[in-house]
Chain A
Amino acid sequence: MKPEERPIQNILDELVHGDPVSRRHMLGRVGAAGVTLAGLPAFLSACGGVEGTSTTSSTAAQAAAAAVDHPKVPIGDWTFTNWPLYIDKKVLKSFNKEFGGKVKYVEEINDNFEFFGKVRQQLSSGRPIDRDIVVLTDYMAARWLRDGYVEAIDKKNVPNMSNLVDNLQTINYDPNRDFTLPWQSGAIGLGYDISKTGREITSVKDLFDPKFKGRVSMLAEPYDSANTVLLGDGVDASKATLDQILGAIDKIDEANQAGQFRRFTGNDYTTDLTKGNVWIALAYSGDLIQLQSDNPDLRFAYPEEGAMLFTDNMMIPKDAAHPYAAETMMNYVYDPEVQAKITEFVNYIPPVIGVQELLEKSDPELAKNELIFPPEEVRKKLFAYPQLSSGDERKMQEAMAKVTGA
């Protein structure tokens, strides 16, 4: 596609080359919600210089978002694509019962890039991908927006969007949440088995401690691992440049050559951790809560230097056949009662306000869990992913692939 055919790409490129507002900044302002609600104009000015072209194309994107109109139609048979074990299936049943139609729920996303590779050809040639909701992590969501692969959300159909937590109301790649709606968030931190390490693990530096040589697993996704290493070195990873990231990858490489890391993993570090093969894993917060119920020796720590925060986002792929059904589902899961059920099942950080209050009644133990409801001092040290251009992202992926041996 030619650039002029994808106005969204233009604004996002501007945002990329500008100076994105860091998530930490936004999180720091959770108390002063008004600031984060300020919307696109304020956001763009926060980015520093905005050129004329981008203003016109951003208005074009805004216009597209404003013009979106998905009239109420019967729900019918529609498709919701998500990651494995990322919903309580009872929620789907009650949705079908309440709104009619039948949701085909497919747990087919195991890796953002793998899923993208699967549907990329159809998307880039402008064919629909026969899925009405996909759930993708921030950096992949940003990429889809950049390439114009996403339908705008008709907010009239999602009144519960007002329940979105303050700190996620706006995000660098979709400042008004016109195209994306958070599904769940989580932190990337230190999962460890205290019976093996013999002490609490508190710092990113512990991943590199020679005492744990061959007993540490690293995440293969550089957005997660390299940025966490940068945080460990005191760098604000949400503003990281490609050079800084490549430096962090070098550091990982060096330790790997020395045999520090047992494996580079995706979600599969959980087996190594529960079997005692690995003592410390760079881990996702929600996983550890689930693992703890089987093995109380397993712990999760937000690194004292700060932790990366990821959000997986619901999006309606371009030319989806059932946008109204998708929006009805979005609205449904943004009902705090429904969201509480999902939280009880998946144990990630819910993006909907009022869930903690509901859980205090039904499951007070869970409502106190700092991994699901991070305390204020932790929230201040949660960082969003840096925004990289497609070319830089590719360079980062290639550098990391060399380290992970593939």
Chain B
Amino acid sequence: MLRLSLARRRSLLPWLFVGPGLLWLALFFIIPLANQANVSLQTGNPDTGYAFTWAFSTYTDAISEYQEQFLRSLGYAATATVLCLIIAFPLAYFTAYRAGRFRNLMLLLIILPFFMSYVLRTVAWQLILSDNGWVLARLRDVGLVSDTGRLLATRTAVIAGITYNFLPFMALPLYVSLEKIDRRLIEAAKDLYASPITAFRKVTLPLALPGIFAGSLLTFIPACGDFVNAALLGTSRQFMIGNVIQSKFITILDYPTAAALSFILMSFILIGIFIYARLLGARNLTQAAL
């Protein structure tokens, strides 16, 4: 072994710790990403092969041709995220504060659906929402759905499917941030004559923001790229950008367009997250997280 000065060794030590992580990132993130960036700038066709030509027009063509699916993806994902938040917040709140000895059971119930394959869970909803199913019959009885109306193969079904499938991603981070809150802060607020609502608004909610932020990201990002729900619960009129990318990659073998679409989606998501972080107040978030 080389004898290194103490200072030198000190400066190398952090790299030793970061090393495996960096290697992992390089192997499984940067290299594939660079490879796909290269593919997205190629032209050609599946028979003669593709060659790198700096074809930036693929990007503009892809946006103009598939803007409908892009907007739909962002819209569906945003709607599902908001719905997840509305459903998951009371769930997480109850689990953190009121569940008592049932807390672990509640947590288990939240993650239980993950024990089953994602596709199977979605297929199950095909049966639940089917035209001759119990759910639709009851909705018809109540008059929420017309006699000729349907649930399956509609926008409602797709958004509901996404909401259902991503709910745990919202509920778990929310639970963690709520559970971490020092109860004495809430008691203090009440001691200072804050009503329960004010205490919630001024203490609990701000302290839960990191959980809301993390949950929203974990829901929104995969939901944007999802294609399973649209494929199984929707029609071609509900297809999202993930369906386009899948068919371009797998059926049509148009790799450049598929890669370009993926990068466009990624940049949309990054911009969206940036705006979202600004809205919630990034400083607030990092501070609260500490």
Question: Chain A residues in contact with chain B, CB under 8 A?
Answer: 111, 113-114, 116-117, 120, 124, 147, 214, 256, 261-264, 271, 275-277, 390-391, 394, 397-398, 401, 403-406
A350–B225 alpha-carbon span in the complex (Å): 42
29 contacts between A and B (CB under 8 A): A113-B252, A117-B249, A117-B250, A147-B47, A214-B150, A214-B153, A256-B237, A261-B235, A264-B235, A264-B236, A275-B130, A275-B131, A275-B133, A276-B130, A276-B132, A277-B130, A277-B152, A390-B47, A391-B47, A397-B251, A398-B252, A401-B248, A401-B251, A401-B252, A403-B236, A404-B236, A404-B247, A405-B236, A405-B243
Chain A proximity of B102: nearest CB distance (Å): 37
B237's partner among A111, A116, A398, A405 (CB-CB below 8 A) is A405
Residues of chain B contacted by A404 (CB below 8 angstroms) = 236, 239, 247
A-B complex: 3 closest residue pairs judged by Cβ atoms: A405-B236, A405-B239, A406-B247
Residues of chain A contacted by B133 (CB below 8 angstroms) = 275
Residues of chain B contacted by A394 (CB below 8 angstroms) = 45-47, 252
A403–B235 alpha-carbon span in the complex (Å): 11
A406's partner among B47, B153, B239 (CB-CB below 8 A) is B239
- Whether B236 pairs with A406 at a CB distance below 8 angstroms is yes
Chain A proximity of B154: nearest CB distance (Å): 10
A391–B236 alpha-carbon span in the complex (Å): 25
A141–B239 alpha-carbon span in the complex (Å): 30
Chain B proximity of A272: nearest CB distance (Å): 8
A271–B49 alpha-carbon span in the complex (Å): 38
Whether B165 is near chain A, meaning CB under 8 Å from some CB there, is no
Residues of B in contact with A, size category:
20 to 34
A391–B47 alpha-carbon span in the complex (Å): 8
Chain A proximity of B8: nearest CB distance (Å): 46
- Whether A263 pairs with B235 at a CB distance below 8 angstroms is yes
- Whether B235 pairs with A262 at a CB distance below 8 angstroms is yes
A111–B247 alpha-carbon span in the complex (Å): 12
Identify the closest chain B residue to A118 (Cβ). B250
- Whether A120 pairs with B69 at a CB distance below 8 angstroms is no
Residues of chain B contacted by A397 (CB below 8 angstroms) = 251-252
Given contacts A277-B132, A397-B251, A405-B236, 17 further A-B contacts (CB under 8 A): A111-B251, A113-B251, A113-B253, A117-B251, A147-B47, A256-B236, A262-B153, A275-B131, A277-B153, A401-B248, A401-B251, A404-B236, A404-B247, A405-B243, A405-B244, A406-B239, A406-B247
Residues of chain A contacted by B250 (CB below 8 angstroms) = 111, 113-114, 117
- Whether A277 pairs with B236 at a CB distance below 8 angstroms is no
Residues of chain A contacted by B47 (CB below 8 angstroms) = 147, 390-391, 394
A69–B138 alpha-carbon span in the complex (Å): 67
Which residues, 224 to 240 on B, are CB-close (under 8 Å) to A?
Answer: 235-239
Residues of chain A contacted by B69 (CB below 8 angstroms) = 405
Which residues, 97 to 136 on B, are CB-close (under 8 Å) to A?
Answer: 126-127, 130-133
Chain A proximity of B150: nearest CB distance (Å): 7
Residues of chain B contacted by A113 (CB below 8 angstroms) = 250-253
Residues of chain A contacted by B252 (CB below 8 angstroms) = 113, 394, 397-398, 401
Chain B proximity of A147: nearest CB distance (Å): 8
The 0/1 profile, CB within 8 Å of A marked 1, for residues 156-196 of chain B is 00000000000000000000000000000000000000000
A398–B126 alpha-carbon span in the complex (Å): 28
Residue of A263, A276, A394, A406 contacting most chain B CB atoms (<10 Å): A406
A276 in contact with B247 given A256-B236, A394-B252, A405-B239 (CB within 8 Å): no
Residues of chain B contacted by A401 (CB below 8 angstroms) = 247-248, 251-252
Whether B57 is near chain A, meaning CB under 8 Å from some CB there, is no
Chain B proximity of A386: nearest CB distance (Å): 18
B236's partner among A117, A263, A271, A275 (CB-CB below 8 A) is A263
Identify the closest chain B residue to A116 (Cβ). B253
Residues of chain B contacted by A111 (CB below 8 angstroms) = 250-251
A406–B115 alpha-carbon span in the complex (Å): 30
Chain A proximity of B287: nearest CB distance (Å): 44
Which residues, 246 to 266 on B, are CB-close (under 8 Å) to A?
Answer: 246-254
Identify the closest chain A residue to B65 (Cβ). A402
Residues of chain B contacted by A124 (CB below 8 angstroms) = 49
Chain A proximity of B50: nearest CB distance (Å): 12
Identify the closest chain A residue to B253 (Cβ). A117
A276–B127 alpha-carbon span in the complex (Å): 11
A120–B238 alpha-carbon span in the complex (Å): 30
- Whether A406 pairs with B126 at a CB distance below 8 angstroms is no
A320–B117 alpha-carbon span in the complex (Å): 34
- Whether A276 pairs with B131 at a CB distance below 8 angstroms is yes
